[in-house]
Amino acid sequence: MLKLTNKQIPALLKRGESETIEFKKVFDREAVETLTAFANTHGGRVLIGISDTRQVVGVDVGKETVQNWINQVKLSSSNALIPDVDVVRFKKKDIAILSVPEYPIKPVACRGRYFRRVKNANHQMTVSEVVNEHLKTFNTSWDYYIDDFHTEADISFEKVQAFVERVNRTREVPIQDDPLTLLRKFELLRDGRLTRAAFFLFMAGESSLSAIELGRFQTPIIIKDGARLKTDLFAEVDGVMAFIRKHINKAYIISGEPQREERWEYPLEAVREIIINAVVHRDYSSSSDSIIKIYDDRIEIYNPGKLPSGLTVERLLTGDYTSAVRNRKIADMFKEAGLIEKYGTGIRRVLREFEANGLPLPKFEEIGEGFRVTVFNGLAVAEKPPQVTEQVTEQVTEQVTESLLKLISFCAEPKNTKELMAHLNIKHREHFRSTMLAKALTLGLIEATIPNKPQSRFQKYRLTARGQRVLDQMTRHQK
């Protein structure tokens, strides 16, 4: 890391503590915890001799002080950290700056506990986060590792063959390997031993390790029907969709065509996309089950496993992220089978489907140590499109603030982020993206002009049909 000078101290004091800066009056145990948190995140500096209120109090640095601090950090951390230490003079007082870069081998422990930096605070990592950081360090994932509890006898080679036949229906160069050879080529069988991915994808029997609880609820506490799936992951996707179709409604649309149109109260392709994401991205090391609840007005899909570190719901919805796959081998096999088109694009397809059907957009949220998606229905859309469209528009309009209205009205012609920020007189880019832009996209009021490349420098945002309806309605009310 670049060395700080005393000329840079005033700017740091003005900005305050952050993801990479911490102030401490004295060197103590918390200072060591912060250094390990920095090492597990993006690196950072601890400035000793500055209080929490940003007052420069200084620190006494004797002949052996710096070396003693380095030794304490080294002995208290594993993998051992050795910080760089610089002492600068500011306002006639000494400030010691302890710096560590992002550590290449994660996670780094502090006295047996693991921390990461989130904004301006240290957060203790969960077991799942510790495991994931370790796996990312070695460029692998949980499902790539050898399954110590199952062997070839626990998988079905008929299921492997069925997978081959499925892949070959769309593959230009068909797979001609026998099931055993295919497992080796895809690294699902290594040195004669089964990987975790192989077991979950092709298990012969049932296992509670992959259990999904399904329920049709009359009220939050009264269940009308239930099921529990404990089979291979491909079959679970089909099983969940069969249960959902059993408990939702469909309408028949008379359009004048020779054959009547069939329309479900939810866009099934979008729901299937959500289910596939849940199956692929689930944290299978967790003892919790996936849970799917069907109510009269909504479906809730809960999955063990939070979003990857650094990814927020807002960034997920705007597409401003690089796809991070928890179970890389499982995801690869789903992609081979044609169930995943492209990593990181599924959420945008889901939002477009619900928008096209005039339905409220799904709700995405982190719940405890898991993630939940809630989709809302609207069978009446098929029967009375104009009326339901207005109802949906009214629901959205209630959430539109004056600033949001100003944003979407400016998007009648496509505008880039810089133009939108200038129009709204907003200077902080991250604040703009995580609040204003994310909300407008989530409500379906605007859309990206290059949806498949969310971080493109040519990206712009334009008004959607729903956004225009909201504008028209709010204009009428103002009159």
* Same domain, yes or no: 364 and 406: no
For residue 314, what is the domain's CATH number?
3.30.565.60
How far apart CA 451 and CA 448 sit, in angstroms, is 5
* Same domain, yes or no: 231 and 361: yes
Q: Which of 158, 183, 208 is the last residue of a domain?
A: 208
Domain membership flag for residue 276 = yes
Provide φ and ψ at 442, rounded to 5°: -60, -40
Domain membership flag for residue 138 = no
Amino acid at 178: D
Domain membership flag for residue 250 = yes
Helix (H) or strand (E) holding 100: strand 93-100
Domain membership flag for residue 133 = no
Q: By the 8 A CB rule, do 182 and 225 touch?
A: no
* Same domain, yes or no: 350 and 240: yes
Q: Which of 208, 227, 242 is the last residue of a domain?
A: 208
* Same domain, yes or no: 192 and 106: no
How far apart CA 206 and CA 213 sit, in angstroms, is 14
Domain membership flag for residue 119 = yes
What was the pLDDT predicted at 391? 45
How far apart CA 196 and CA 200 sit, in angstroms, is 6
What was the pLDDT predicted at 431? 79
* Same domain, yes or no: 230 and 374: yes
What 8-state DSSP symbol labels residue 217? Answer: E
Q: By the 8 A CB rule, do 407 and 423 touch?
A: yes
Q: Which of 362, 381, 400 is the last residue of a domain?
A: 381
For the question of whether the overall pTM of this predicted structure is more than 0.75, the answer is no
* Same domain, yes or no: 366 and 469: no
What was the pLDDT predicted at 322? 62
Domain membership flag for residue 41 = yes
Q: b/e per residue, 148-165, with b = 16+ CB within 10 A?
A: eebeeebbeeebbeebbe
* Residue in the block written with tokens 């200072």: 31
**According to DSSP H, which parts of 111-254 are helical?**
127-137, 157-168, 179-185, 196-202, 233-247
Task: Supply the range of the domain harboring residue 79.
Answer: 6-125
* Same domain, yes or no: 213 and 350: yes
Domain membership flag for residue 137 = no
Among 232, 201, 209, smallest CA distance to 333 is for 201
What was the pLDDT predicted at 256? 57
* pLDDT tens, N- to C-terminus, the chain (479 residues): 678 888 999 999 999 999 999 999 999 999 999 999 999 999 999 999 999 999 999 999 998 999 999 999 999 998 789 999 999 999 999 999 999 998 877 899 999 899 999 999 999 998 888 888 877 776 678 899 999 899 999 999 999 999 999 999 888 788 899 999 999 999 999 989 999 999 999 999 999 999 999 999 988 778 999 999 999 999 999 999 999 999 998 766 555 566 666 778 899 999 999 999 999 999 998 889 999 999 988 999 999 998 887 778 877 777 666 666 789 899 999 988 988 865 555 787 888 888 888 888 899 999 888 999 999 986 534 444 444 344 444 555 556 788 888 998 999 999 999 999 999 988 888 778 877 888 888 778 888 887 766 677 888 999 988 888 888 877 765 55
For residue 39, what is the domain's CATH number?
3.30.950.30
* Residue in the block written with tokens 């299937």: 272
CA angle centred on 56, ends 53 and 61, rounded to 5°: 130
What 8-state DSSP symbol labels residue 143? Answer: G
* Same domain, yes or no: 435 and 363: no
* Same domain, yes or no: 167 and 304: no
How far apart CA 475 and CA 348 sit, in angstroms, is 29
Domain membership flag for residue 1 = no
What was the pLDDT predicted at 8? 93
* Same domain, yes or no: 310 and 320: yes
* Same domain, yes or no: 228 and 319: yes
What was the pLDDT predicted at 383? 41
What was the pLDDT predicted at 348? 79
> What is the number of structural domains in the chain?
4
* Same domain, yes or no: 119 and 262: no
